[in-house]
Structure 1
Amino acid sequence: MPLPDLTVPRRFCGPPSSGNGGWSAGALAAYVDGPAVAVSLLAPPPLDAPMTVGAEGDGVVASQDGRPVLRAEPFPGDLAVVAWVPVEEARGAQASYAGLESHPFPTCFSCGTGRDDGLRIFPGRVADQEGGARVAATWTPDASVAETLAATTWAALDCVGGWAGDLEERLMVLARMTARVDLLPEVGAEHVVVGLGRRTEGRKTFTASALYDADGRLLGSAEHLWIAVDPAAFS
């Protein structure tokens, strides 16, 4: 039986003309069985345009006009653990969010400063973890994301990683995201999102993130691979 098409609604953009990487990855991850799923972003996800989804091995590929855009597959390994930050500390860190001064994609559904209808996750610096830079913010899911909560949770776990990396120094886009969401966040409740910078290798930056409830219970974890790109590509 054919799999249903995947469409990224315009609300869930990252850059103005393409899907937020985390939301798009999370939407495709729903087609794959397994507690953890790895999604590679092969091209900018189109907005308001259906992508054909087909099986590939034990995973799936979303394509537009025959061109692969996203590939998802089960991930059998463990994910990095990013330590919890208390709600009050995460809330206070938001004032130091670097994106308030300069933001490469203010339209971003997850972390954009120009989006009243976005998640408005604004992570600021907190104490390092084992030498890695760490950022944290609070997030309260509202009723408008209740029907897309799984993909939206991936979006919440997405950009916080980039801000823990070197997004302030160079423009990066998400190339691969691996996530495990054991419990979906509660709509209307305050949560904590934490990001961790892990390492940089040439154009590649590796980060991790975690989503906690207000009591410090881990709901989901993610790891990311980011690729530095020429800003002219988005001008």
Structure 2
Amino acid sequence: MNSTTLNIANRFCGPPNSGNGGYVCGLVANHMQQPSQVTLHAPPPLDTDLQIHPKGDGLELKLGEQLLASARPYTFDLDIPAPPSLQEAEQAQERFIGFGQHNLPGCFVCGPSREAGDGLRIFTGSVCDHQGQVAAVWTPAEDLCDADGLVASEFLWAALDCPGYFAVQPVSGPALLGRFSARIEQPVRAGEALIVSAWAISHDGRKHNAGSALYRSNGERVAHAEATWISLKR
């Protein structure tokens, strides 16, 4: 693969001046053409031409000489708990802690200050009778689709990202995405109500592992992911 240019539009921010981690990982993974894990090394700036370079059997995302992200071939085997029902997910999102306090209210995925049709507005809250699980409902809009009318994979990666944070947040506190890998199992079309679910897997010092998944309203899984979140130094 020759070097290619990647530009993250301002709309797809996580923190105010850098790309949403899951979205950026999804864009980078698109260039791997095989199952992969993406590691974020530095905040990827917005509206800036970045370069993707091949590196061994993977690739690197750079701004000049600065390494922003790297990808490597990777497959994972995730122990996935039973999903909540659509009704449980609808009720869970009413308990989204970000409504009261949100460190990144403008995040493309989970920011409550983003308008409908602009941000994804995925507000995962705790699920009753599913200990340690958070959930919400997400209906993808048509402007997220590719030329085939299917929701582009980078938006599915994004939707799987922030829920994992809210699953580990009670232990992690403020944290940023470190590593991420997602597997898209079935195509998704705009206008389809999806159940978003996430759960904590393990905690080790400042590292926190989470799983997340997307389901159709009947409980059929369409995608899942695993993530490592890194607590910010206090």
Q: TM-score, normalised by structure 1?
A: 0.92
Alignment-derived partner of residue 24 in structure 2: 24
**Would the alpha carbon gap of residues 152 and 167 (structure 1) be closer, same or farther in structure 2, given more than 3 Å must change?**
farther
1:209 is aligned to 2:190: no
* Partner Cα separation in structure 2 for residue 44 and residue 84 of structure 1: 32
Which residue of the partner structure matches residue 125 of structure 1?
126
Give the superposition deviation at 1:209.
0.2
CA shift, 1:51, in A, is 1.1
- TM-score, structure 2 length as denominator? 0.92
Q: Counterparts of 1:70-219 in structure 2 under 5 Å?
A: 70-116=69-115, 117-127=118-128, 133-147=132-146, 149-166=152-169, 170-219=173-222
| CA distance in 2: counterparts of 1:66 and 1:166, whole angstroms | 33
Cα displacement (A) at 1:199: 1.8
In the alignment, the residues of structure 2 paired with residue 114 and residue 17 of structure 1 have an alpha-carbon distance, to the nearest angstrom, of: 16
Number of the residue aligned with 2:225: 222
Go from structure 1 to structure 2 and tell me whether the alpha carbon gap of 1:222 and 1:189 turns closer, same or farther (over 3 Å shift). Answer: same
Identity of aligned residues (%): 37
SS for the counterpart of 2:143 is helix
Q: Is the 8 A contact 1:154 1:179 kept in 2?
A: yes
Aligned residues: 228
CA 1:80 to 1:48, structure 2 compared with 1: closer, same or farther past 3 Å? farther
Structure 1: which amino acid aligns with 2:211?
Answer: A
Structure 1: which 5+ residue stretches go unaligned? none
**Contact 1:82/1:208, CA 8 A, preserved across alignment:** no
Give 3-state SS (helix, strand or coil) of 1:164's partner.
helix
State the Cα distance separating 1:144 from its structure 2 match: 1.8
Quick check: 1:161–1:197 contact (8 Å CA) kept in 2? yes
Q: Does 1:46 align with 2:45?
A: yes
Cα-Cα RMSD: 1.7
Q: Note if contact 1:33-1:74 (Cα within 8 Å) is conserved in structure 2.
A: no
Q: CA deviation at 1:184?
A: 3.0
How far residue 2 of structure 1 moved from its aligned partner, in angstroms, is 1.9
Q: Following the alignment from structure 1 to structure 2, what is the Cα–Cα distance between the partners of residues 82 and 108?
A: 27
Q: Which amino acid aligns with 2:56?
A: G
- Cα distance, 1:145–1:73 mapped onto 2, change above 3 Å: same
Out of 23-32 and 146-155, give the one that drifted further. 146-155
SS in 1 for 2:93: helix
8 A contact 1:123–1:137 mirrored in 2: yes
